[in-house]
Amino acid sequence: MADASFKNGKKHNPDGTVCTIVKIKETLSSNGNTKYTTTLWSDNTYSCNCPGWAMHKRGGERKCKHTKASAACNGADMVTPGSQHNANLAAARSPLTPPPPRRVAIR
Ligand SMILES: [Zn+2]
């Protein structure tokens, strides 16, 4: 079984279909030095760039603890790449930026 290849932020399946990113999840490694990105693709498959994913033996279903965790909740622990970026920006700015004066309903 040929593996999919990953180029320019897209997944190229062996059958010729090209998938785009739907959601991502970033996880800090246990020593805190590396950030792994788990990706949910438009064909509803997952990939990861951690050593567990990279070293998984060929032939079986490819997975790691990150893709397993995300698959178990159907990607509920993941975010769209844009909202992740905005959330990080908001978190980085929050100590300096006072909350907006007007009340906003949060759903
Ligand atoms: Zn992983």
For ligand 1, an ion, list residues with CB under 5 A.
48, 50, 53, 64, 66
Cα distance between residue 82 and residue 8, in whole Å:
17
Of the two residues 75 and 81, the one the predictor is more confident about is: 75
Summarised one tens digit per residue, pLDDT across range 53-79 is 877 666 677 889 999 999 999 999 999
Domain membership flag for residue 102: no
CA of 26 to the centre of ligand 1 (A): 10
CA of 49 to the centre of ligand 1 (A): 6
User: Structural domain tally of the chain?
Assistant: 1
**Domain residue limits at 66:** 5-80
Q: Which residues contact residue 53 at a Cβ distance below 8 angstroms, ignoring those fewer than 6 apart?
A: 47, 62, 63, 64, 66, 67
Domain membership flag for residue 16: yes
Global pTM reads: 0.70
Res. 86: pLDDT tops 70: no
- Average pLDDT on 80-103 reads 63
Domain membership flag for residue 103: no
CA of 10 to the centre of ligand 1 (A): 18
- Per-residue model confidence (pLDDT) at position 66: 96
